C-alpha cells in the first residue's frame, strides 16, 4: 500500500533581497497578496491537500512567520471584546493544532537542496511535500491537491511543471522527458538551469514537489551544483532509474512572487478572483489603463 503524504516542508530561510527595503525587517514570505501573506497561501494549499504536519526551515530574522502561526492573545481578546467575530475567526483559523508545526534553522544559505535536507530528521522515512511560497498558484483545485491525486497512481517523485519560453530555461530545473501525454510527463533526467541551447526540453519545475525520502540520501552527499549551491534538482535527478519520476502540468496559473512584476500581477489576479474585490479591481485597472 502506498504511504500517504502527511508532512510538508516550507523553505523560508531566504533573504528576499529583490524586495529590499520592504524585506529589511520583514520576511519576504510575509509580503501580502491582497490580505494574506504568501506563506499563508502555501500553508492553506498544503492543508487542503491533506497535509497534517508543517515543517518550516527558517533563517535569521524570520520570527514574524512563527508569530503569524501562533496565538495572539491581546489581538484575539480585543477582537472578542469588540464583537468582531468574523475577524476573530480569521485570526484563530491560522493557528495549527498543537504538535502539528515545527521549525528548524538553516544556518547557512547553501541552496534549496540544503534547506530541504535540514528538515530530514523531522520528516523521517516517509514521503513528503515541499512548497515554495514564492510560487503562488491560482487554481480552482489547489495545485498540491491535484498532485496528490496523481501521486496516488504514480508514486515515486512528482513535481509540478509548466512550459516556459526556450530562452528562459536557464532560470529553472528542466525535465529531460522520455514520454509526455500532455498532462503527465515521465522524466529520464533533470538539469538545473541549463543554457537554452543545451536544454533537453522547455518543461520546467515550479515550487511544488512530492518526494520519496531517498532524496535525503542523495542530499547527504552535500554536492554543490549550479551557482555553487546544493541543488534539490540534482538530488532528485540521482534517484531517477530507481524511483519513478513524473512532472504534472497542473491546472491553474502560477505567479512568480519572487519578482516584483510577478508579485504585482498576483495581487491583481487574486483581487479579480474575489467577489468582494473584483468590481473595485476592475474599476482601478480601467482608470489607470486610460493614462
Write out pLDDT tens, residues 59-115.
888 999 999 999 999 999 999 999 999 999 999 999 998 889 999 999 888 899 999
- Total tally of structural domains belonging to the chain: 2
Residues 75 and 11 placed together within one structural domain of the fold: yes
pLDDT of residue 224: 83
Residues 39 and 107 in one domain: yes
Residue 278: other Cβ atoms inside 10 A: 12
Phi and psi angles of residue 283, each rounded to the nearest 5 degrees, phi first: -65, -40
Residue 226 has pLDDT above 80, yes or no: no
Please state, in angstroms and rounded to a whole number, the distance separating the CA atoms of residues 89 and 232. Answer: 37
pLDDT of residue 273: 97
Please tell me whether residues 149 and 275 are part of one structural domain.
no
Q: What is the mean pLDDT of residues 236-252?
A: 94
Q: Are residues 229 and 111 in the same domain?
A: yes
Query: Mean pLDDT throughout 219-228?
Result: 85
Least confident residue range of 30-34, 230-234, 250-254, 279-283: 230-234
What does the CA dihedral 59, 62, 68, 72 come to, rounded to 10 degrees? 120
Nearest to 135 by CA among 205, 71, 55: 205
* pTM (2 d.p.): 0.93
CA pair distance 244, 153, nearest whole angstrom: 11
Q: Length of the chain in residues, anyone?
A: 291
Is 98 within the bounds of a domain? yes
Res 150: pLDDT: 96
Cell readout for 63 is: 520570527
206 belongs to a structural domain = yes
Asked if the structure places residue 115 within a domain, the reply is yes
CA distances from 254 to 111, 162, 188, 240, 274 (A): 22, 9, 25, 26, 17
Residue-averaged pLDDT of the chain: 93
On the question of pLDDT at 276 being above 80, the answer is yes
**What's the rounded Cα separation, in Å, for the pair 275 and 199?**
42
Domain ranges, residue 285: 259-291
Instruction: Look at residue 39 in the predicted model and tell me its pLDDT.
Output: 97
CA-CA distance, 31 to 23, in Å (whole number)?
8
- Taking a C-beta distance cutoff of 8 angstroms, is the pair 15, 131 a contact? no
Q: Do 194 and 58 share a structural domain?
A: yes
Residue 231 domain-assigned (yes or no): yes
- Who contacts 43 (Cβ-Cβ below 8 Å, separation ≥6)? 10, 54, 69
The Cβ-side half-sphere exposure at 136, using a 13 Å CA radius, reads 28
The CATH number given to whatever domain includes residue 137 is 3.90.550.10
Q: Does 50 share its domain with 69?
A: yes
Same domain for 142 and 228? yes
C-alpha distance from residue 89 to each of 14, 79, 98, 123 (Å): 30, 10, 18, 30
CA distance 10 to 132: 6
Smallest CA-to-CA distance from 124 within 47, 58, 50, 216 is with 216
Q: What is the percent of the chain where pLDDT is above 70?
A: 99
For the residues 164-185, what does the mean pLDDT come to?
92
Dihedral of CA 37/15/50/189: which sign?
Answer: positive
Residues 50 and 177 in one domain: yes
pLDDT grade for 228, boundaries at 50, 70 and 90: confident
Q: Which residue has the higher pLDDT, 65 or 14?
A: 65
pLDDT at 291: 66
* d(C-alpha 188, C-alpha 46), whole Å: 28
Q: Does residue 227 sit within a domain? A: yes
Evaluate whether residue 2 is within a structural domain: no
Confidence tier at 1 by pLDDT (50, 70, 90) = low
Average confidence (pLDDT) over 216-245: 89
As beta bridge partners, residue 101 has: 54
What confidence tier does 278 reach under pLDDT thresholds 50, 70, 90?
very high
Q: Same domain, yes or no, for 238 and 287?
A: no
| Cβ proximity of 43 and 54 under 8 Å | yes
pLDDT in tens, 179-223: 999 999 999 998 888 999 999 999 999 999 999 999 999 999 888
Give the mean model confidence (pLDDT) for residues 28-46.
96
Nearest to 157 by CA among 113, 211, 116, 120: 211
48 and 125 belong to one structural domain? yes
Same domain for 33 and 175, yes or no, is yes
Q: Are residues 94 and 223 in the same domain?
A: yes
Report how many helices (DSSP H) and strands (DSSP E) the chain contains, helices first.
11, 13
Amino acid at each position: 500500500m502506498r504511504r500517504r503524504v502527511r508532512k510538508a516542508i516550507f523553505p523560508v530561510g531566504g533573504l528576499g533581497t529583490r524586495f529590499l527595503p520592504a524585506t529589511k525587517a520583514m520576511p519576504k514570505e510575509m509580503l501580502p497578496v491582497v490580505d494574506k501573506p504568501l506563506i499563508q497561501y502555501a500553508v492553506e494549499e498544503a492543508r487542503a491537500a491533506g497535509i497534517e504536519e508543517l515543517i518550516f526551515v527558517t533563517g535569521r530574522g524570520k520570527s514574524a512567520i512563527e508569530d503569524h502561526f501562533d496565538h495572539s492573545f491581546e489581538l484575539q481578546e480585543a477582537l472578542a471584546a469588540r464583537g468582531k467575530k468574523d475577524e476573530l475567526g480569521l485570526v484563530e483559523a491560522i493557528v495549527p493544532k498543537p504538535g502539528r508545526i515545527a521549525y528548524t534553522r538553516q544556518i547557512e544559505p547553501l541552496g534549496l537542496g540544503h534547506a530541504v535536507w535540514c528538515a530530514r530528521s523531522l520528516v523521517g522515512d516517509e514521503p513528503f511535500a515541499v512548497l515554495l511560497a514564492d510560487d503562488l498558484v491560482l487554481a480552482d483545485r489547489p495545485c498540491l491537491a491535484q498532485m496528490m491525486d496523481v501521486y496516488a497512481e504514480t508514486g515515486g517523485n512528482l513535481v509540478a511543471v509548466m512550459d516556459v519560453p526556450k530562452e528562459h530555461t536557464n532560470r529553472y530545473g528542466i525535465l529531460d522527458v522520455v514520454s509526455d501525454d500532455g498532462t503527465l510527463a515521465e522524466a529520464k533526467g533533470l538539469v538545473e538551469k541549463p543554457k537554452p541551447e543545451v536544454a533537453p526540453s522547455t518543461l520546467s519545475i515550479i515550487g511544488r514537489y512530492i518526494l520519496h525520502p531517498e532524496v535525503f540520501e542523495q542530499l547527504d552527499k552535500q554536492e554543490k551544483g549550479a551557482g555553487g549551491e546544493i541543488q534539490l534538482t540534482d538530488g532528485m535527478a540521482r534517484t531517477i532509474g530507481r524511483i519513478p519520476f513524473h512532472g504534472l502540468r497542473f491546472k491553474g496559473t502560477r505567479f512568480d512572487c519572487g519578482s516584483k512584476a510577478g508579485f504585482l500581477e498576483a495581487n491583481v489576479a487574486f483581487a479579480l478572483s474575489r467577489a468582494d474585490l473584483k468590481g473595485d479591481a476592475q474599476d482601478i485597472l480601467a482608470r489607470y489603463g486610460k493614462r
